[in-house]
Amino acid sequence: MTVRMHNRLVLPWLGFLALLVAGCSEYTVRGPQIPFLTPVASNGLAKTPPMGWNSWQKFGTGIDDPTIRSIADAMVTTGMRDAGYVYVDVEDGWTNGRDGDGNIEGNAKFPDMKGLADYVHSKGLKFGIYSSPGPYTCAGYMGSYGHELQDAKTFAAWGVDYLKYDWCSAGSVYGNDDSAYRAAYERMGDALVMAGRPVVYSLCEYGRDSPQVWASLVGGNLWRTTGDINDAWASMTGIIELQAPLAKYAGPGRWNDPDALEIGNGNMTDDEYRTQMSLWALTAAPLLAGNDIRTMSAATSSILMNQEVIAVDQDPLGRQAAPVTNGYLQTWIKPLADGSVAVGVVNLGKTAAPASIDARDLHLDGPVKTARDLWAHAGVVFTGGRYSATVPSHATILLRVSST
């Protein structure tokens, strides 16, 4: 018997096995179909892409309350909070089950969720949590199916500021056609509004049903556009290729989400990590660090907290760049609110390559007056309307260019 789940560890929890025994294989069990009704009221949040830290990339289901508290401490002492990373998000692995009244509870690793949220808030940070529209999460823990409003009210009482809602077992009860995704996510979107606490709503159905078209209508602030990222060059670049065609759907309060940052997890080079940071900034992606920030190197810190690159990501215009490809080079141009542009040239090849940026392609209001390399933190010169440089393998040149 096989159940198709998301591409992360699935633990053999008794409740999940009971669901399988009951006949939930290959998403064949169908529950009541909830109609896709009226749009959910906007929560007015995430005017720029959310920034914070997510537990899954480094810790998986091994996360616990003391670790989250120490991460919150480190968000302050490392400068991450002041750089803009304000959400601390507990991913899969925190639930136990429900009490006699049906209220969701933390497990032994998370005995006091409200106390934990209060601690995170005391550090000037915001608290995020994780659930599923299905009966169980990706790792087999309790989901929110049938308890959406009850869970939303519980999350509000705890002080939750951010909810990631991951599809996983939801197909077993809703099916997997287009209306199923929309109905399931609308149900929680409505519940969050009714619970009365503003919560950033992060949808994760892996881009299966073009969420960029409808997710904001069900209250979503961001939506995953792809499957899970891995700490590997091929995974990172493959994901951003899928993000690229969706540029027109991004804007204040609604963001295409290519998944978390792998920067500092050790399987890519610093040049490759700078490329991830550059591409996420150019595509106006949420910036959710996934490393252990308590022990990060100086190089990792300098990448994650590069304020000039963060400013490109957080630009209030909210435009997402799209690439033009020339051989192994990709050029991404992002208009910014002050009339300048960010331009990145990525070398996808295995050897260094010469690159050139023509000012005419930047669509500025006049000739280039200032240009700055955001990784070198230094001015550069356009000569004859052109800037040329050599881009190392898997590296990125990222400039901010202005005609004023």
The model's pLDDT over 73-96, given as tens digits with 9 standing for 90+, comes to 999 999 999 999 999 999 999 999
Angle in degrees, CA 188, 190, 192, rounded to 5: 70
- Looking at the chain, the whole-number percentage of residues with pLDDT higher than 70 is 91
Q: Which residue has the higher pLDDT, 18 or 347?
A: 347
pLDDT at 308: 98
Q: Are residue 165 and residue 62 in the same domain, yes or no?
A: yes
Q: Are residue 302 and residue 342 in the same domain, yes or no?
A: no
CB atoms under 10 Å from CB of 248, counted, come to 11
Residues 6+ apart with CB under 8 A from 208: 167, 176, 181
5 domain residue, yes or no: no
245 domain residue, yes or no: yes
| pLDDT(19) > 60 | no
Q: Are residue 309 and residue 349 in the same domain, yes or no?
A: no
Look at residues 313, 338, 355 and tell me which one is the last residue of a structural domain: 313
pLDDT at 37: 56
Number of structural domains, the chain?
2
Q: Are residue 158 and residue 193 in the same domain, yes or no?
A: yes
| pLDDT(315) > 60 | yes
The model's pLDDT over 372-393, given as tens digits with 9 standing for 90+, comes to 999 999 999 999 999 999 999 9
Residues 6+ apart with CB under 8 A from 34: 174, 183, 184, 186, 187
Q: Are residue 273 and residue 346 in the same domain, yes or no?
A: no
Report CA dihedral (129, 130, 133, 135) to the nearest 10 degrees.
-120
Catalytic residues, which ones? 166, 228
Range 295-322 average pLDDT: 98
Q: Are residue 293 and residue 376 in the same domain, yes or no?
A: no
Residues 6+ apart with CB under 8 A from 241: none
Look at residues 296, 313, 330 and tell me which one is the last residue of a structural domain: 313
| pLDDT(287) > 60 | yes
Q: Are residue 348 and residue 222 in the same domain, yes or no?
A: no
pLDDT at 148: 98
Q: Are residue 219 and residue 248 in the same domain, yes or no?
A: yes
Q: Which residue has the higher pLDDT, 99 or 19?
A: 99
Sign of CA dihedral 88, 93, 98, 102: positive
Confidence band, pLDDT 50/70/90 cuts, at residue 179: confident
User: Which CATH number do you get for residue 357?
Assistant: 2.60.40.1180
- On average, the pLDDT of the chain sits at 92
124 domain residue, yes or no: yes
pLDDT at 377: 98
The C-alpha atoms of residue 288 and residue 87 are separated, in whole angstroms, by: 8
Tokens of 334: 């992002």
- For the chain, the C-alpha Rg in angstroms (whole number) is 22
User: Which CATH number do you get for residue 42?
Assistant: 3.20.20.70
Q: Are residue 342 and residue 387 in the same domain, yes or no?
A: yes
CB atoms under 10 Å from CB of 26, counted, come to 11
| pLDDT(6) > 90 | no
| pLDDT(302) > 70 | yes
The C-alpha atoms of residue 83 and residue 81 are separated, in whole angstroms, by: 5
| pLDDT(212) > 50 | yes
157 domain residue, yes or no: yes
Look at residues 251, 280, 313 and tell me which one is the last residue of a structural domain: 313
Range 288-295 average pLDDT: 98
pLDDT at 34: 44
Q: Which residues pair with 335 in a beta bridge?
A: 341
The model's pLDDT over 40-71, given as tens digits with 9 standing for 90+, comes to 999 999 999 999 999 999 999 999 999 999 99
3 domain residue, yes or no: no
Residues 6+ apart with CB under 8 A from 327: 349, 353
Residue among 200, 223, 401, 380 at smallest CA distance from 312: 401
Q: Are residue 216 and residue 362 in the same domain, yes or no?
A: no
Range of the domain at 347: 322-402
Range 227-247 average pLDDT: 97
185 domain residue, yes or no: yes
SS3 content of the chain, % helix, strand, coil (to 5): 35, 20, 45
| pLDDT(245) > 90 | yes
Q: Are residue 49 and residue 123 in the same domain, yes or no?
A: yes
6 domain residue, yes or no: no
Tokens of 123: 């550090």
1 domain residue, yes or no: no
| pLDDT(8) > 80 | no
Q: Are residue 398 and residue 306 in the same domain, yes or no?
A: no
Helix (H, G, I), strand (E, B) or coil at 129: strand
The model's pLDDT over 335-358, given as tens digits with 9 standing for 90+, comes to 999 999 999 999 999 999 999 999
The whole-model pTM stands at 0.91
pLDDT at 178: 80
- 2-6, 273-277, 321-325, 386-390: which has the minimum mean pLDDT? 2-6
Confidence band, pLDDT 50/70/90 cuts, at residue 177: confident
